[in-house]
A and B are shown apart, each in its own frame.
Chain A
Amino acid sequence: MSQAATELIRISGHAGTVPGAGLNREFQVCKLVDTTTCIGCKACEVACLEWNGYTFSETTFNNSYQTMPETAWNYWNLIKFNEHEREDGTLMLLMRKDQCMHCEDPGCLAACPAEAAIVQYANGIVDFQEANCIGCGYCMTGCPFNIPKFSPKARKVFKCTLCNDRVSVGLEPACIKACPTGCLHFGTKKEMKELAETRAEQLREHSGYREAGVYDPPGVGGTHVIYVLHDAKNPELYGGLPKNPQVPLMVRLWKHPLKWIGNFGIIFGVVGVFIHYLRYGPKVVEGDEDKGHGAKP
């Protein structure tokens, strides 16, 4: 763990207080992906592999420039290519760098039952601690972005760390470093948000993308990876970016009402039968030599 434990603001599967709860960091980090200047060169994909020490994984041609259909446990950063024909007949080749969004309200962390397998730092990074991962895959279900991926070999789940190891020593994430066009930016959430809004405004005013906007979905409390999109009204066009991602209702129901109903129910049941025993006692069989268990045959 390269970040101090006192900077943990959320810990999965954790009973009791969180050391960094309430900690208000001066800044929260943010990655900005400007899809309108992405050229799909995949330098970020290779930089991610090289920094994180993953090497070759076999792929096959799938009628696309896209390296593989979706991110993999050992392929955290994938540019999704989508051909989109607009109403006026013009074509768009939408390219979006897909990776962990580092939600402010992370569904993976909410769903994770294992103590400290997923943590959130005060700077906003949501990081998997594989040593604590039990491989249940609940995070995969909790994530609205289809990011955490199960490794059948390691029997654990992996995802982008936002280069927590680099960021914690003052470097930008590897993908940012590799990007040749300046489509990727890294800085504080505030700065990135401003930069993104400025760019979106420019696209609306000067490039004819009237629906250009910033993707920072409120349903998960905002994200620490934000997008500038040509068409912010239709994020689904960009390889399945959800319009209004949420920590899934089922996970919320499970974690909150069900948990309390269940806990109450179990305690009520145990206490209930005890009180019943105190009030009514056992059912006694009259004339029976065998008054209880353990009697000899």
Chain B
Amino acid sequence: MTNGWIDIKNTDMMLIMGGNPAENHPCGFKWAMEAKRDRNAKLISVDPRFTRTSSTADLFLQIRAGTDIVFLGGLIRYALENNRIAKDYLANYTNAAFIIKDGFKLPEDGLYSGFDSEAGKYDFSTWNYEGADGSDRQAGTVRHSPDVVPGKAGGATPPPHLPPNVAFDLALQHPRCVFQLLKRQYSRYTPETVERITGIPRDQFVKAADLFTSVRKDGDMKKVATIIYAVGWTQHTFGTQIIRTAAMIQLLLGNVGRAGGGVNALRGHSNIQGATDMAGLYDSLPGYLKAPVPADSDLDTYLKRITPGSSKPSPWASFNYYSNTPKFAVSLLKSMYGDAAKKENQFAFDYLPKVDRDYSWTHIWDDMYNGKVKGMMAFGMNGVMIGPDTNKNINALKKADWLVVGEIYPDETSEFWRAPGITADEQKTINTTVYRLPCAGFAEKDGSMTNSARWATWKYAAVPPPGQARLDQDIVAEIFLRVRQLYKKEGGKFPDPILNLSWAYADAAHPSLSQVAMEVNGKALADLTDPTTGQVIKAGQQLPGFAWLKDDGTTACGNWIYSGSWTEAGNQMARRGNEDPSGLGVFQGWSWSWPANRRVLYNRASCDPDGKPWDPSRKQVWWNEAAGKWVGNDVPDFKPDSAPKDHMGPFIMNPEGIGRLFAPIGVIADGPFPEHYEPIESPIKNPLHPDQSNNPLVKKFKTPYDKFGTPDEYSIVCTTYRLTEHYHYWTKNNPMNVQLIPEPFVEIPVELADEKGIRGTEMIKVISARGTYMAKAFVTRRLKPMMIDGKKVYQIGLPIHQGFRGIAEDEGRDARTPANLLTPAVTDPNAHTPESKGFLVKIEKA
């Protein structure tokens, strides 16, 4: 979330799409209801199904799963055509005025300029700003490339970099300026096209577009709209691009950085934000630092690659906060390796593993299936159930040597060998050794949880773990200590990273999470003095925040964005102050929000270029001329003393200082602007460019389980979802939840049921190219047949909760088939998220 849960109450307009917060985030949805009650805010729900969120909406549109970019692109077109955009915001806070290199080509045929069909990827050199006075051609500027996996080590062409001095046209008239390109790109996304592809009748689409953009009617900047989404957007082969389209709309309408605005991802688990922050993905280090790759031959090369140089129109200023990257990276190394990280050994940079290829979720399973991964430790997740293509994953586990599962219930992963279809004879041939470790549940452990709003909140154990269950950190610690002992005794190829890992906890076998949290916050390793204020931090003291981090080895910090969470003043995450003087729901004293306890990101953009709030009734931060600094109800997300006349961009994490309508040099691998591609399994060819129907960057695996259906056999669009009554794969073990929704079901439209002669509660089969799912039919009017490109298309949906372990399953009230055996293992090229939210199936009576 750029904003936060409570902040939703400040909005005037909500577009909820790719998410179902009423069901999956009922507590947070309170704020949406509050906005409706207290501000007469409007709610637009766009979803493949009429959900419980839709029931509270002012307008509901049923969209075909996987066509969100068409809808949002249409919305961009509508806003531009009807002049419902934030002109000043656009010109000053986004790259609308930036001029793009000659040679850049829009994807009218489905491909941007620079596509290498053999390698299946783009050359990003034309996806760049034009340098003013030819500065882009100067050599020796600091490079910035997001490409975390460059070709082979020492590849032939250096990755492109942004010009330090960008050519621009504030009148937004230059034919190659971002604004004009944007206009051209989305001119194809007419209401007719929207209807043809998404299935939303054009009058309904126009109604929604008119309602949403009404916040910028006549250029008035007072009102604010928010866009709220969840994994209904991410789980596509173009998921990142859907979210980018939303971000672009919000930039166009000037809604980012403002109370009641922003682009708000609703995270699906209580602490998944925290997991992501701590390097949830294989290609990042804690705090979203990019992981080293083999080409990073030394620390210097690595830091140069990941530290961007500023890039902006010359009259403007840019904070370019990521220029501090070396401080974050070196402090992380000091935190990881302690005294073993020295200037002389490049702070033990060599200890860090180098990421040489894709190790994302679907690759792990493919590697295991192909015998490359021999064992797996699965903690806090039900691996067999959560990913796509369950049958493949079960068959991969059969080939593994060992599997360790840390869970609070016997789950499908630890009992994969009991999956339906595996006979007793076959079970005897499975040689995977499974270790099941009973773990502590959430109420049995302390620590912090970071919610969607980036609030890290400290919690306390309510009860001790039952029986033999142990805390996760105790299990991990014991494994680590034993492995370290082995390395000590037997040596090995490269024992140093293990032997020198900092493990400075009072009780090594039972690390206290408080100590871990303090380590994450970081401390001074030498006496530090702030040159401007003269404030001194003594060696050994906790750091007040990431501004104190140094790249010379005098600070240690486990995750720079969490610096400030546990200071000398104590655990900031445990704060429970409930004062909110501004009434905007900022609650500065409640828990702690990264970064630097800011509640709304980019909040400088809540003010006009002169530093005055766009809406005086929702004052977040503002420029105080007398004091010469930014002040406010929130912590300013900005250089505190940069006066408005400096024209520093509010998006300080981008080297340009602006919000990116155009994503340059491949920060998004599949295009600078989002383009609609059909899901890998789709009922139609992409009407925009039938020859390039799918995302050209998507790769398919080659196992017998990676099969794909065609619309002539599998004509029904299927999507998956969660229910408010259940939490993922746990609560099917809790009688109270099982009572609320006792069995799995498949939601099918009345018309489809009539066609197939299926009545509600009858058992049916849902068949994809990868497997057969069985559950009872839920015949409903909440899904309607749609006209897609002249074809009648049915859409069905099924919840993912039930599998082959749980109360209903054990009682035999469930067909025991996991929903994800239907979904394909194809992923988004940026975030590696699988396409679970739109694929093809057929149904028949069981």
Tell me, yes or no, whether A and B come into direct contact in the complex with CB atoms closer than 8 A: yes
Residues from chain A with a CB closer than 8 A to the CB of B52 are: 39-41, 65, 93, 95
> Closest CB of chain B to A76's CB: distance in Å?
14
Is A2 interfacial (CB 8 A cutoff)?
Answer: no
Contact (Cβ within 8 A) B37 A202: yes
> Closest CB of chain A to B822's CB: distance in Å?
19
Is B740 interfacial (CB 8 A cutoff)?
Answer: yes
Choose from B29, B740, B761 the contact partner of A63 (Cβ within 8 Å): B761
Is A57 interfacial (CB 8 A cutoff)?
Answer: yes
> Closest CB of chain A to B61's CB: distance in Å?
10
Residues from chain B with a CB closer than 8 A to the CB of A85 are: 781
Residue of A39, A45, A63, A207 with most partner-chain B CB within 10 A:
A39
Q: Across the two chains, which residue of chain A brings its CB closest to B39?
A: A206
Complex CA gap A180/B36 in Å reads 15
Contact (Cβ within 8 A) B58 A181: no
Contact (Cβ within 8 A) A181 B30: yes
> Closest CB of chain A to B815's CB: distance in Å?
12
Residues from chain B with a CB closer than 8 A to the CB of A60 are: 742-743, 813
Is A17 interfacial (CB 8 A cutoff)?
Answer: no
Would you give the 0/1 interface string for B732-767, flagging 1 where the beta carbon is closer than 8 Å to chain A?
000110111111010000000000000011000000
Contact (Cβ within 8 A) B743 A199: no
> Closest CB of chain A to B378's CB: distance in Å?
29
Contact (Cβ within 8 A) B740 A39: no
Choose from A42, A83, A95, A207 the contact partner of B740 (Cβ within 8 Å): A42
- CB within 8 Å for A91 and B30 given contacts A42-B740, A56-B736: no
Is B632 interfacial (CB 8 A cutoff)?
Answer: no
- CB within 8 Å for A62 and B761 given contacts A39-B56, A45-B740, A56-B739: yes
Q: Across the two chains, which residue of chain A brings its CB closest to B28?
A: A180
Q: Across the two chains, which residue of chain A brings its CB closest to B777?
A: A63
Residues from chain B with a CB closer than 8 A to the CB of A41 are: 22-23, 26, 52, 724
> Closest CB of chain A to B201's CB: distance in Å?
10
Residues from chain A with a CB closer than 8 A to the CB of B50 are: 91, 93
Residue of B30, B58, B779 with most partner-chain A CB within 10 A:
B30
Residues from chain A with a CB closer than 8 A to the CB of B735 are: 55-56
Residues from chain B with a CB closer than 8 A to the CB of A91 are: 50, 60, 781-782
> Closest CB of chain A to B71's CB: distance in Å?
18
- Can you list 12 contacts pairing A with B, beta carbon distance less than 8 Å? A37-B56, A39-B26, A56-B735, A56-B738, A58-B739, A60-B742, A63-B779, A65-B52, A91-B782, A182-B30, A182-B37, A207-B36
Is A16 interfacial (CB 8 A cutoff)?
Answer: no
Is A61 interfacial (CB 8 A cutoff)?
Answer: yes
Is A294 interfacial (CB 8 A cutoff)?
Answer: no
Of residues 706 to 746 in B, which have CB atoms within 8 Å of A's CB atoms?
723-725, 735-736, 738-743, 745
Complex CA gap A38/B29 in Å reads 11
> Closest CB of chain A to B45's CB: distance in Å?
11
Would you give the 0/1 interface string for B7-47, flagging 1 where the beta carbon is closer than 8 Å to chain A?
00000000000000011001101100110110010000000
Complex CA gap A61/B34 in Å reads 33
Of residues 170 to 209 in A, which have CB atoms within 8 Å of B's CB atoms?
180-183, 199, 202, 206-208
Is A46 interfacial (CB 8 A cutoff)?
Answer: yes
Contact (Cβ within 8 A) B60 A63: no
Complex CA gap A58/B807 in Å reads 11
Number of interface residues of B (CB under 8 A): 41
Residues from chain A with a CB closer than 8 A to the CB of B264 are: none
Residues from chain A with a CB closer than 8 A to the CB of B782 are: 83, 91, 93
> Closest CB of chain A to B214's CB: distance in Å?
13
> Closest CB of chain A to B314's CB: distance in Å?
49
Choose from B29, B53, B54, B813 the contact partner of A180 (Cβ within 8 Å): B29
Is A36 interfacial (CB 8 A cutoff)?
Answer: yes
Is A275 interfacial (CB 8 A cutoff)?
Answer: no
Contact (Cβ within 8 A) B776 A57: no
Is B592 interfacial (CB 8 A cutoff)?
Answer: no
Residues from chain A with a CB closer than 8 A to the CB of B26 are: 39, 41, 43, 180-181
> Closest CB of chain A to B828's CB: distance in Å?
30
Q: Across the two chains, which residue of chain A brings its CB closest to B776?
A: A61
Residues from chain B with a CB closer than 8 A to the CB of A28 are: none
Is A258 interfacial (CB 8 A cutoff)?
Answer: no
Number of interface residues of A (CB under 8 A): 40
Q: Across the two chains, which residue of chain A brings its CB closest to B738?
A: A56
Is A49 interfacial (CB 8 A cutoff)?
Answer: yes
Contact (Cβ within 8 A) A180 B27: yes
Complex CA gap A154/B761 in Å reads 32
**Would you call the interface of chain A mostly helix, strand, loop, or mixed?**
loop
Contact (Cβ within 8 A) A67 B740: yes
Contact (Cβ within 8 A) B778 A46: no
Q: Across the two chains, which residue of chain A brings its CB closest to B744?
A: A61
Choose from B33, B55, B58 the contact partner of A207 (Cβ within 8 Å): B58
Q: Across the two chains, which residue of chain B brings its CB closest to A37?
A: B33
Would you give the 0/1 interface string for A67-86, flagging 1 where the beta carbon is closer than 8 Å to chain B?
10000000000000001010
Complex CA gap A55/B738 in Å reads 11
> Closest CB of chain B to A193's CB: distance in Å?
17
> Closest CB of chain B to A239's CB: distance in Å?
14
Complex CA gap A40/B740 in Å reads 11
Is A266 interfacial (CB 8 A cutoff)?
Answer: no
> Closest CB of chain B to A183's CB: distance in Å?
7
> Closest CB of chain B to A56's CB: distance in Å?
4
Residues from chain A with a CB closer than 8 A to the CB of B724 are: 39-42
Count CB-based A-B contacts (< 8 Å). 111
Complex CA gap A56/B736 in Å reads 6
Q: Across the two chains, which residue of chain A brings its CB closest to B724?
A: A41
- CB within 8 Å for A208 and B740 given contacts A63-B761, A83-B780, A199-B37: no
Q: Across the two chains, which residue of chain A brings its CB closest to B62?
A: A91
Residues from chain B with a CB closer than 8 A to the CB of A64 are: 778
- CB within 8 Å for A55 and B736 given contacts A40-B724, A83-B780: yes
> Closest CB of chain A to B538's CB: distance in Å?
46
Complex CA gap A58/B22 in Å reads 26
Would you give the 0/1 interface string for B58-102, flagging 1 where the beta carbon is closer than 8 Å to chain A?
101000000000000000000000000000000000000000000
Contact (Cβ within 8 A) B22 A39: yes
Complex CA gap A181/B58 in Å reads 17
> Closest CB of chain B to A163's CB: distance in Å?
19
Contact (Cβ within 8 A) A92 B37: no
Contact (Cβ within 8 A) A182 B745: no
Of residues 755 to 799 in B, which have CB atoms within 8 Å of A's CB atoms?
760-761, 776-782
> Closest CB of chain A to B757's CB: distance in Å?
15
Residues from chain A with a CB closer than 8 A to the CB of B778 are: 61, 63-64
Known: A39-B23, A91-B781, A208-B58. 17 other contacts (CB 8 A): A37-B56, A42-B724, A43-B26, A55-B735, A56-B735, A56-B739, A60-B813, A61-B761, A63-B760, A63-B761, A64-B778, A65-B52, A65-B723, A91-B60, A93-B54, A180-B27, A181-B22
Complex CA gap A41/B778 in Å reads 18
> Closest CB of chain B to A142's CB: distance in Å?
29
> Closest CB of chain B to A120's CB: distance in Å?
32
Q: Across the two chains, which residue of chain A brings its CB closest to B58?
A: A207
Residues from chain A with a CB closer than 8 A to the CB of B30 are: 180-182
Complex CA gap A214/B56 in Å reads 18
Residues from chain A with a CB closer than 8 A to the CB of B743 are: 60-61
Complex CA gap A94/B54 in Å reads 11
Contact (Cβ within 8 A) A92 B742: no
Contact (Cβ within 8 A) B33 A95: no
Complex CA gap A49/B776 in Å reads 27
Residues from chain B with a CB closer than 8 A to the CB of A94 are: 55
Residues from chain A with a CB closer than 8 A to the CB of B55 are: 39-40, 92-95
Q: Across the two chains, which residue of chain B brings its CB closest to A42?
A: B740
Residue of B55, B736, B776 with most partner-chain A CB within 10 A:
B55
> Closest CB of chain A to B457's CB: distance in Å?
17
Closest 9 CB pairs of A and B: A63-B760, A56-B735, A39-B22, A93-B55, A41-B26, A61-B743, A206-B40, A180-B27, A181-B33
> Closest CB of chain B to A276's CB: distance in Å?
66
Would you give the 0/1 interface string for B424-448, flagging 1 where the beta carbon is closer than 8 Å to chain A?
0000000000000000000000000
Complex CA gap A60/B776 in Å reads 11
Q: Across the two chains, which residue of chain B brings its CB closest to A89?
A: B784
Residues from chain B with a CB closer than 8 A to the CB of A46 are: 736, 740
